[in-house]
Structure 1
Amino acid sequence: MAGVGPLTQDWEPVVIRKKNPTSAAKKDEKAVNAARRSGAEIETLKKATAGTNKAASSSTTLNTRKLDEETDVLAHERVPTELKKCIMQARMDKKLTQAQLAQAINEKPQIIQEYESGKAIPNQQIITKLERALGVKLRGKK
């Protein structure tokens, strides 16, 4: 490594400072200091959640109470028994496996399995694809 000088390192100190207070904060601070100097009695308050991302706790407790008082049992609609039987029967009539039917409608085999077991949440687009691939009407009047 001829011609290359000695390696040097930069040992200058790096000073990291806190961000300067905004003008509004400076005004408040000046007003408080002026009041202290004049001898006036002052009272300063620090908000509990100031400078944090936490929401006010009162709104959280209200929402929690509403949820606790809620009596409705909420659940997703599942595939009706008639629909799953129709899909299974139509697939058997066409002599297709679940995987072949899934490939025909461009979906995963797991989706066909969920529809036939009644675990799937009905999706009108998938039902339309199934109707076309199987040549049967799965919705509406039979």
Structure 2
Amino acid sequence: MPKKAKNKPTPKAGRSHKANTYSGQLPIIPKPPKYFNGYSKEKWEELAPVFIEKNMLSQADLSAFELLCRHYGDAMDLYEAMVDKYGSLANYFVDRNSQTMGEYLAYHKAISSYTKMLIEFGLTPAAKKKVPIPEIITEEDTLTKMLNE
């Protein structure tokens, strides 16, 4: 049987022996990636403040959140291109097969990927029941606290 250590290791100078209490949540709303434009950037600016407020976006979640916004932007750009060229999706499909049209296949793939990311973040009605939403972080306002005392 191995011998037990006689002395516990001591923390190094300036370091606490307590567990790291950093929650990983972002203190500020991150800027969208530089390559984002149009719909991707709009989706980022729409959802990022909500996700931060609801305590749903941490540093580790940024790449998944980036994909969510990018898939939305790709889908909307492709949809807009099809509608601009043909006036509507109905006109786009006239005398065509949806399985052989590159724009539509790319659009469908982007929408499917976007939908999967929505489910991952718990943003569909069915997914909201499965994904627990963390509590909202509230910061104490020191001035209000002092006035109420």
Fold agreement, TM-score > 0.5: no
Q: How high is the TM-score relative to the length of structure 2?
A: 0.25
Q: How high is the TM-score relative to the length of structure 1?
A: 0.26
* Higher RCO (C-alpha under 8 Å, 6+ residues apart): 2
Answer with 1 or 2: which has the greater Rg.
1
